Chain A
Amino acid sequence: MTVLLALVRLAVALELLPAWAYGVGTILLFGVTLEALVRAYKPSLLPGLGLLLAGLGLGYSTAPAVLLALLGVGALYWAWAPQMSEREQASFWGWLLVWPAVGLLLVWQIFPSLYALWLSFLDRFNFIGQSRFAGLLNYEILLTRDPLFWKAMGNTFWFVIFTVPLGILLATLVAILLNERVRLLGFFRTLYFLPYITALTAAAAVWDWIYHPEFGFLNWVLGTPGLDWLSTPQGIFALAMAPLGIQLQGFWAGPSVAFVAIMVMSLWHLLGYQVVVILAGLQNIPKEYYEAAQLDGASWWQQQRYITWPLLSPTTFFLSTLGLIGAFQVFTQVLIMTPTGGVLQDTLTITLYMYNKGFRDSDFSYASAIAVVVFAVILVLTLVQQRVLERRVTYET
């Protein structure tokens, strides 16, 4: 009830509801509690009243009132605890323990998601000026008339293709090799894991320096002085096919060289995490399977193919779901390495685009529409992935 009240207060703060709604809500809730208290005098209701008062104080952000009310709840509990029945105690403690987390989730996650949905129906909402309800206008513009959105979606698609299956394959390979040479396992695991705990901001700065056109290390290694990796917008498929006389355009030109450079950096960053998770999965596979296979004369490759791969599938499934969601959140490395989204927006990712729309163009409703579409896409993709992949996942019995 207190949570509800806090939400009403929030809505008032956001000008979704008129100010008197809060007062009415308070009086109503207070009345209901008092009435219940008078009708069926139950000591367990008193702490509830205290919590209500706490919520009231929260609404007006007066810290002393909140503190006082919480102290009151404590005192009441002390006084009434011996008379409480077992069920009342469970109910009291259950709600008391769950309430802070649930309240925060409601205020900062569930309510905002609904609010984002509402915002996406408004016309150019920002702090200046009045915005009006525009229905599906934002979605219509986004889906039919916004090439940049589709560019960002295409980039995200390539990111998923290049980092998720490739990353997992690479990580599986590394993990299998590490798992067989146990002596240096600790050292290599440390080595592979280091990039994952490194802040992306700093890591991107280093890779930016490695990719530097004039003094970059990569150009020295490859003997390609002056090649500006991060400002090369040509698609890699187009570049590969050009000598054969095939001209690829648009989406089919593939991710740009600049975006591939960013993907390589992201692979480097993520590989350690994938390796560690897969290693843990590998160590859960009973050794007896391999021994039995060896007795039957199975080759190394057959062992990996028929024992490791299927028994590892829950882990790879988990990693691919995570990778899919992660790909839609790629932001930091793109912002650091190509602050403007690259030449011709060739490294624009969906989160960067949303950030630009919301915080540079101050169009919160359009950015919210992007967020809602992303939400829907992620939801559909994970559902599809579960339907398609989960059938192939082998759970050990």
Chain B
Amino acid sequence: MAFPFYWMLATSLKSPQEAQQAQPIWVPERLKPANWRVAAQLGAAGGTPLWGGYQDGRSVTLRIYTDRMGPEPQVFIPTAVGAFSDPRAEGTQIRTRYQGDHWEITFTNASGESFRLLPAVVLLSKSYSSYRPELPPDAVRSSGDDWRLEWVNLAPGALGYVFHNYREAWLAAPFGQYFFNSFITAGTQVLVGLLLAAMAAFALARIEFPGKNLVWLMILATLMIPGEVLLIPNYILLSRLEWINTYYALVVPWLASVFGIFLLRQFYLSLPRDLFDAARIDGASYWTQLVRIALPLSIPGLVTYGIFTFLGAYNALLWPLIVTDRPEMYTIQRGLQVFIGEAGSDYGALMAASTLAILPIVLGYFLAQRQFIQGVARSGIK
């Protein structure tokens, strides 16, 4: 059951070459503490120990231990495919020298700009019988008579090294905005939905008013309507109201929940009648009864409904897919779906983004496990 989660986490910490192995790698290089120390040192040289960087005027030195002093390695900074040049490649001074038992490669930033990442490629002759770079390369390829060692970032810092994929994924798409949208929509849906459901359920359970049976019948009928039927008419309605790409479209159609009314009405019916009668004799209005008696006594029911609604709203893909087509209105799942389409074969970043997307719910689950499980169990018992 837990394996897919482990696999997601492990992949999210892998370099592309590690991810794309026929033989699975169980512990990626980025999880090894020895590498964290080196990453922190390199990061401190170029920027900060935690998040690294390649600031103007700083020098980053990489050591490659070899068995002897052989041919000098060739070092350069790769430029992105399609770009004419990279200011880093133009403005970096690279010096290599042999020191006792290792090659020392020094990158000095003389470009006048500061960068987040320092990518590097080292071509090392295959005539060395053994070699060991301080920081393991992200990819090793064969290139003629040389080994081609590639680093996506030579000045990562400890956190920048471990969470490289997370940082890149986070910066590749406006995930902050996605999270904000998700929390706003799910939060409003829970809070307003709770209030509306509690009000209606209380009236249906405890107040005798003309037309009550009609209302109850209507709610029972609504229970029969499957969600699919509503997709198209609601979309048309929203577009006629010009609500597409607004929070209204994400929230309003699902505010009133028959499930919530049912659940809470059941709760209110199970509360002793005398409680309400006593309050009534003391002159409490119906509103006071609802707020002072019914709501506090139905907290388990409210929690169940809240958890279900939040999960449903936060995890939904189909509805956001229909009513939003602008990135600033995407919810996290919608954003993730687009990201999956764009990331292609960058499985490290993809898994990092997926992990981020489920993180708030999983954290909430571990904090309030009992409420989650009891809430769900309660949904099955009448």
A residues contacting B by CB (< 8 A) are 10, 13-14, 81, 89-91, 93-95, 97-98, 100-106, 108-113, 115-116, 119, 127, 189-203, 205-210, 212, 214-215, 217, 220, 225, 268, 271-273, 276-277, 279-281, 284, 314-315, 318-319, 325, 328-329, 331-332, 335-336, 339, 350-351, 354-355, 358-359, 364, 367-368, 371-372, 374-375, 378-379
Contact = CB atoms under 8 A, between A and B. Distances in A.
B82 to A, nearest CB: 26
B218 A105 contact: yes
A51 B261 CA distance: 23
Given A94-B286, A110-B222, A115-B233, 15 more contacts: A91-B209, A94-B208, A101-B261, A102-B200, A102-B218, A105-B219, A109-B256, A127-B239, A194-B2, A202-B8, A225-B22, A350-B228, A364-B236, A374-B229, A375-B229
A314 B203 CA distance: 29
Interface stretch (B62-70, B130-138, B311-319): B311-319
The secondary structure that dominates the A interface is: helix
Contacts of B21: 215
B367 interface: no
B207 A97 contact: yes
Contact of B240 (A14, A81, A368): A14
B13 to A, nearest CB: 14
Given A119-B233, A281-B380, A194 B22 contact: no
Interface in B53-112: none
Nearest to B336: A201
A215 B24 CA distance: 8
A324 to B, nearest CB: 11
Contacts of B11: 209
15 contacts: A91-B209, A98-B200, A101-B200, A102-B218, A113-B225, A115-B236, A116-B233, A189-B373, A202-B336, A209-B11, A212-B347, A273-B376, A318-B380, A335-B337, A367-B231
Contacts of B196: 100-101, 104
Contacts of A105: 218-219, 222, 256, 258
A93 B241 CA distance: 31
Contact of B372 (A193, A195, A279, A281): A193
Nearest to A284: B381
Given A371-B229, A371-B231, A13 B240 contact: yes
A298 to B, nearest CB: 26
Nearest to A102: B215
B232 to A, nearest CB: 5
A359 B286 CA distance: 46
B270 interface: no
A100 B226 contact: no
A205 B350 contact: yes
> Number of contact residues on B: which range applies?
35 or more
A97 B199 contact: yes
Interface stretch (B115-123, B158-166, B354-362): B354-362
B236 to A, nearest CB: 7
Nearest to A105: B256
Contacts of A200: 315, 317
B171 interface: no
B333 A201 contact: yes
Interface string B25-57: 000000000000000000000000000000000
Given A101-B261, A215-B20, A199 B361 contact: yes
A279 B377 contact: yes
B218 to A, nearest CB: 7
